Amino acid sequence: MRDKIAEPSFSSGVNSLTLDRHEYCLEYPLCDCRLAQAFELRAQVFCSELGWVGRRGQLKEVDAFDGSAWHLGVLAQGQLAAYLRVHPYWAPWMIDSVFSDTVPTGCSLRGPGKCEVSRLAIAPGYRRFAFSDGQTPTSLILQLLYTFCVLKQINKVYMVVTDRSLRALRLQGLPCHSGPLPHRKADRDAPVFATLNWDEFRSSSNPLIAKRRPAFLAMVGHAKFSYQGKLEASRYRCQSDL
């Protein structure tokens, strides 16, 4: 595993990020009890369903990357409905070690404005669920990720997902690009390296991306965040909300 790089001072500027609605709540960071739910959900998905790590039936999945990652979640009825974690560029990445064989040769990844996202998971009971406003746990966790990246000044995201997850991300309007075919396997649950550029998302004329984009931009406008100890409405509030 690559040594941890010194954390830049600006990375701690946003201390918390929330969006509270009647049926759901989006949160960063997750408190200890929510993290415990996340570790249980991760075990269910990555140990029992995918077999990427641990053993089938394992109750919790915790690893050496958790201490330096940022944990984001979508809560519904007091339970974690969706989860992912973000690895800043100065922290250890799974792509550097666990999934290094999925990365295209000569690909330069690390640097300011870049991050790795891992352990994206949707609770089984919420995979085909939609809230009354039409949002789903999948769409919400991705919109939370976008808002988080805007506030953290992150523009490029790297991840390792399954082919099925990659298709789901694209259906949500995210321009995710997978690695070259020689680095991919036939197994639909095999790890696949993918990239996401938020500038491409914001500027693309693709009809599906253009259709999904307003919800992501609106999330940035409505979220509240703690910046240097002060809870504020988002500085990126949409004009319609002024």
- Domains, the chain, with CATH or none: 17-223 (3.40.630.30)
182 pLDDT more than 70 = no
Decide the pairing of beta strands 114-122 and 156-161: parallel
pLDDT band, very low/low/confident/very high, at 189 (cuts 50, 70, 90): confident
| CA 154/CA 89 separation, integer angstroms | 10
Least confident of 11-25, 44-58, 91-105: 11-25
Reduce the DSSP state of residue 89 to 3 states and report it.
Answer: coil
Nearest C-alpha neighbor of 19 from the set 126, 174, 143 = 143
- Could you tell me the two tokens for 198? 């938020």
Amino acid 242: pLDDT: 29
7 pLDDT more than 90 = no
- Could you tell me the two tokens for 128? 């085909």
114-152 pLDDT tens trace? 999 999 999 999 999 999 999 999 999 999 999 999 999
Q: How much is the pTM?
A: 0.89
Contact status, residue 47 vs residue 63, Cβ threshold 8 Å: no
- φ/ψ of 134, rounded to 5, equals 90, -10
| CA 166/CA 61 separation, integer angstroms | 22
Amino acid 187: pLDDT: 76
Least confident of 93-97, 174-178, 187-191, 192-196: 187-191
User: Within the chain, where are the H helices?
Assistant: 32-42, 137-152, 163-171, 198-203, 207-222
Contact status, residue 117 vs residue 157, Cβ threshold 8 Å: yes
Helix orientation angle between 137-152 and 207-222, rounded to the nearest 10 degrees = 70
